[in-house]
Amino acid sequence: MKLQVSHLTHYTYQEAVAKSVNEIRLTPRTDDRQTCHSHSITIEPEVSVYQYEDYFGNTAHYFSIPFPHSQLSIKSCSIMETDEEENPETNRIPYAVEREILNEEKFQNEYAEYLIETDYTRITAELKHFKNITIDEDQAGSIYQLLEAISHAIYVNFTYDPKATQVSTTVEETLRLKRGVCQDYVHLMIALCRMLHIPARYVSGYQFLGDLNADDPIFQHASHAWVEAYVPLIGWLGFDPTSNGKINWRYVTLGKGRDYRDIVPVKGIYQGTDKQQLEVVVDIKRIEGGH
């Protein structure tokens, strides 16, 4: 499926700020399930932009604005082709053998970044209690089925509420509130996976839903997040606990990391007033050549 993705981030400052330094991760990946055919980034005011690849293989850009400015606009535009094939394989070996692989020291060392706790994904007594009352490991016939059970448990026990949490909300707070947004659902699933010794990582990107909301005049696309977890002898597979769905052609990946902190789409510092307005507009369209 061919998709056109645009992402605009616009800051307006009440007073001109003296200077700013910024880092962005808005470039879609090319991998085994998607291809980035074209990509551009436009910055206003116009400045030089520098590119590098970070530790997790994400494309990052940084730029500085060394002069006074009252607005900052960052626009990313991409043409993507996503894979419409569903992955038919979910496991190749018995569950007991999968468990043996996950518990091997060599395996744990290889995937150590995706097994350790972070500030967002601490393994606490509350998390263990939630796991014990919602997920029955003995009923899992495979690691894949266990991951499905985790995603389902989060989906049915939490309420999607954009006003309940903030960008800094941790798993402990999400468990207490029993509500949140995709970022919170993802951090919770990652923490549960790591507690069960399954490598898991945070994925940022977009989900195309335009054709499902064509009759809704107020529908708007937004950034999205989901989980990739490692299934022995299969590899990384995607799960979306926010919708309890699987990753398919509707999903466009930007970045991957241990948690949100590793893949923040836009972050920076500036010198001046703390009074600002932020506008973010995401638009995704199917384009000619798509189905």
pLDDT in tens, 207-229: 999 888 776 767 788 899 999 99
For a pLDDT cut of 70, what percent of the chain falls above it? 97
CATH classification of 2-83+264-286, choosing from 3.90.660.10, 2.60.40.2250, 1.10.1200.10, 3.40.50.2300?
2.60.40.2250
* Domain spanning 95-247, CATH class: alpha beta
Does residue 290 have a pLDDT over 60? no
Of all residues in the chain, the percent with pLDDT exceeding 90 is 86
Residues pairing with 204 in the sheet: 225, 255
pLDDT, one tens digit per residue, over 113-169 is 999 999 999 999 999 999 999 999 888 899 999 999 999 999 999 999 999 999 999
Mean pLDDT within 238-253: 95
Domain with CATH 2.60.40.2250 in the chain: 2-83+264-286
Q: How far apart are CA 212 and CA 239, in angstroms?
A: 20
What's the pLDDT at 219? 77
* pLDDT beyond 60 at 69: yes
Whether 175 has a pLDDT exceeding 90, the answer reads: yes
Q: How much is the pLDDT for 289? A: 63
**How much is the pLDDT for 189?**
98
pLDDT reading at 200 higher than 60: yes
Residues of the chain with CATH 3.10.620.30: 95-247
Whole-number pLDDT of residue 24: 97
Mean pLDDT of the chain: 94
Give 247-263 pLDDT, tens digit per residue: 999 999 999 999 999 99
pLDDT in tens, 43-62: 999 999 999 999 999 999 99
At residue 91, does pLDDT exceed 80?
yes
